[in-house]
Structures are given as C-alpha cells and as structure tokens.
Amino acid sequence: MTKTSRAPRRPLILAAISIAAVLLGLWLLERPRQGLEITPLSVGTTPATVMRLPGAEGPVVIIAHGFAGSRQLMAAWQLTLARAGYITVAFDFEGHGRNPVPMSGDVDSIEGTTRLLVDETRRVTDAALALPGADGRAALLGHSMASDIIVRAGLEDDRVAALIAISAFSEAITAEEPENLLILNGAWEGMLRQAAVRAMAPFGVAEGETAGTPGDGFARRAVAVPLAEHVTVLYAAPGLEEAGAWLNATFDRPGPVPVARIGAPILLMLFGVVLLALPLARLLPRGPRPWSPDRGRFLALAILPALVTPLALSFVETWYLPVLVADYLALHLALYGVLVLAGAAYLGGFPKGRGWVWGLVLALYGVLVFGGLLDRYVASFVPHPGRVPVVLAIVPGAILAMLADAVLLEGARAPLWRRSVARVAFLVSLAIAVSLDFERLFFLILILPVIALFYATFGMMGRAVGRRTGSVVAMGLGLGLVLGWALGVSFPMFDPTL
C-alpha cells in the first residue's frame, strides 16, 4: 500500500478513535448515575439538585462548590454519597451557575458577602431536611470558598452533625470548634496543608491521624489527598473514600463507600471531542496561507500591544457589568485586539473577510457539543437570562482579541515559537494589569488558568480550522465567540449595590 493510499484513511481512523473516546467517556460517566433518583429542587431563587437512591432514608448531605464553580463541579461527591445511601443536595451559590441572583455585600467583611452565603446555605439545609426520608440530621460539605461558608453555617445550626471542608481555609476553625470536622486538602496545596496542620496542632496529632471519634463527641482529622491540587482533589478517590468513611462513622452507618470515579472519564470524553475536530476540519475547503510578517514585525505586533494595553487601561475606571472584573476584561480584550489589528493593517496584513461561515460552525461546535457535555458533567456552561447581557458585552472584545491572536498565529500556520510568544505575551499582559491595580483586579488572576485551558482545548479546535482553511477570520471569529460565551457564563456575577 502506497503512502498516498494510506493518507485518506488517517482522518477516518482519527475520527473513529475520537468517537470511541467520547462514547466510552459518556458510558463511564453515566454509569454512576444509574439507579439514582436525580431531581431538581428550587430553594427560593437558589437552584439545587437532589440525588438519592430510591426510598433512601436518613441524614442529608448538603454539598457546596467553591468560588467560580457550580454544583456540577461537585458531582463526584454527590454521586459517591448518594450511592452510599445518603440524601444529597448540591446547589449553586448566588452569583454562580444557574443562580440568577448576583453575589452582593462587602467581600472584605464577615457580615457582608460571607453572611449572605451562610444564610443561603441555611435555607438550602432547611429545604433538604424537609425532603421525604430525611431524619433531621445533616452534614455540610464544601470546597475552597465554601469550606469557610459551611464551617460558619454548621456552627450556627445544631442539626449539622458533621462538616467536611475540602481545600479548606477558615478563620472560624478553632481548637474548640467545630466539634466534628474532616479537612481534606490536595497534597500539592502547600499553604492550605499548613493551615490544616495548625488546626490539628492543639490535639498533638499530624496529618492522617484522628483526634477523637466521629459521632461520639469531638472529632477532627486532616488528610493530604495524594497527587492532587485545588481542582483534581475534587475527583481523587482517596478523598472521596475519606469523606464517606467519616460520614458513616458519624451517623453509624455500615458498608463500604462506592466511589464515583469520574475524573478520568471526563478527560477522555473531552479529549475525544477536541480530537474529533481535527478530522472534521478536513471537510472544510483548503485555503491559501495568510499574511506572514517577518520576525521583527511579528515581535512588535505580539509584544507592544500586550504592554500598552494594561498601561493605558490603568487610567480607566470600570464598573458597568455585574460580574467581577468582567468589565475590565472586556475592555482589555478589545483594546489589545484593536492595537494588534491596527498594526497589522498598517503593515498590510489586515485579515480578509473570507471564511466567516466556518467561524460560526466552529463556534457552534464549541458551544453546543463541547459546551453541552461540559455543562452536564463538569461545570455550568448554559447561561440563565441574566447572564445574556454579560455574554453580549464580552463577546465583541473577545472576537477582536481572537482575531488578533489568529493574525499573529497566521491562521495557526505559524511556527511553534511564534504561537508560544503570542499567547504568553497576552497572558503576561493580563498579569501586568493585575500588578498595576491588585486590589481591584485581584480576581483576574483566576482568569489566567481559564484562558490557558481555553488555548489547550478550544484553541486546538480553532487551530484545526485555521490550518485547513487558511482563514484568520474563521479562526478568530469562532474562538472569539466561544471565549466570550465561556467567560460570560462561568465567572461569578457580583453587584455591590444590592
């Protein structure tokens, strides 16, 4: 068989591998849900999901996500504990996921935003304990930001018999209270582990050791979950096993805990979706190579706008969107994009309009296929009506920035060093903005890994389209629409005037 005859088969083989990865991932993700009753629950304006075995009776476990998360992000915990026989309720905090009410209050005061979230947790606890089969006892489980919220809520509620704090930090933890607390940190969360060690020091026990007995007065334990950091700790089997065992000991319930191992299936499924974009892109018409500047002009286009943008915007006050730092980010994206595109136009490389239809196809694939699966299994990706104006406000700047990115990447045909320089320069641009106004733009730090992840996933799909069509507009428009959507639906809504 000649090399030419083998070439047409490669896309088919790649497509088959991609589809197999998606289907296997879906099967592994749906398997833990089999046999569970999964129903929606509305607690006022707070959306929640109830998972339980049919006819389950006993304690309820209320599960709270961290900052910029949603109840989908806590699925491994909810599935594991529901299959262990607990009545579980996961919910979206104000400003997060499908919750239409923005966060509000003073973020620097315990009696501000924290107080409002503690009250919301109390309302969800009331609703959970009113469910059929609930026996009046509850446990609270929370990650990161929610670790502080659930500790404070538990201290105020005698019905709460156990607390599980994941990636924990809370000044409310003292040597005396809470009385029943399990702390789970990733082994790679150094600062949080140090806080956990301090919380255990008064009892003379180290990580992995237990002070007291769960369910029999005071009990406390801190565990470093192996090979885990702030996100992977949410899927690590040792942590899930620890939580199940702690609750079983607290509530005197027998039996092993059936851990929902969904981390690897999520990666497999999303890998398949991204990989499938490569053979699908080969169905698009092949186009000519876009404009390619020489080395000096490329470096000027990649670096100067990245430096000028944060410096120029440091003189601009922004607060027109009810989302933390989204208004600034929209302006940063737009100004950066305008500067790069203006420079390209001056040098004779302004992108032509060819290929915009393929950009829309790329956006639809990213939002509907990748985003739809993301929303069901990983994190909220479908906006409630209140987020639509936010998405619309961010999208124009995102499109300009991604068009600029596509120009610098020559429609994904640029060599690796140019792609690296362009994208690192943009991330550095955001980092400079934070350093110039740390207090106002602190939360922008959380955007940096999100954009890096965007480059690794959606960026690969955009690269496939750009390399095939040679269209800067197809790549830039498609990625811009997806980026604007992703930022608009995922970052917490916040309105200090409420």
Gyration radius of the chain's alpha carbons: 25
Mean pLDDT in the chain? 93
Q: pLDDT tens for residues 445-471?
A: 777 777 888 888 999 999 999 999 999
Q: pLDDT tens for residues 226-284?
A: 999 999 999 999 999 999 999 999 999 988 899 999 999 999 999 999 999 999 999 99
Q: pLDDT tens for residues 8-63?
A: 688 899 999 999 999 999 999 999 999 999 999 999 999 999 999 999 999 999 99
Q: pLDDT grade, residue 304 (50/70/90)?
A: very high
Determine contact, residues 210/180, Cβ cutoff 8 Å: no
DSSP tag of 387? G
Measured CA to CA in angstroms, residue 90 lies from 93, 121, 128, 447, 489 at distances of 10, 10, 10, 25, 19
Do the strands 46-52 and 87-91 form a parallel or antiparallel pair, or are they unpaired? antiparallel
List CB contacts of 157: < 8 A, sequence separation 6 or more. Answer: 122, 125, 138
Cα 434 from Cα 440, distance rounded (Å): 8
Report the percent of the chain where pLDDT is more than 70.
Answer: 97
Q: pLDDT tens for residues 177-215?
A: 999 999 999 999 999 999 999 999 999 999 999 999 998
Instruction: Starting at the earlier edge strand, list the strands of the sheet with 46-52.
Output: 37-43, 46-52, 87-91, 58-64, 134-143, 160-166, 180-186, 219-225, 210-212
Tokens found for residue 450: 């999100």
Q: Helices marked H in 7-96 — which ranges? A: 9-30, 75-83
Cα 29 from Cα 110, distance rounded (Å): 38
pLDDT over 70 at 319, yes or no: no
Residue 323, pLDDT score: 67
pTM here is 0.93
* Domain boundary assignment for the chain: 35-261, 287-490
Q: pLDDT tens for residues 138-173?
A: 999 999 999 999 999 999 999 999 999 999 999 999
Q: Architecture of domain 35-261 in CATH?
A: 3-Layer(aba) Sandwich (3.40)
Determine contact, residues 494/72, Cβ cutoff 8 Å: no
Q: At what angle do helices 472-490 and 326-346 cross, to 10 degrees?
A: 170
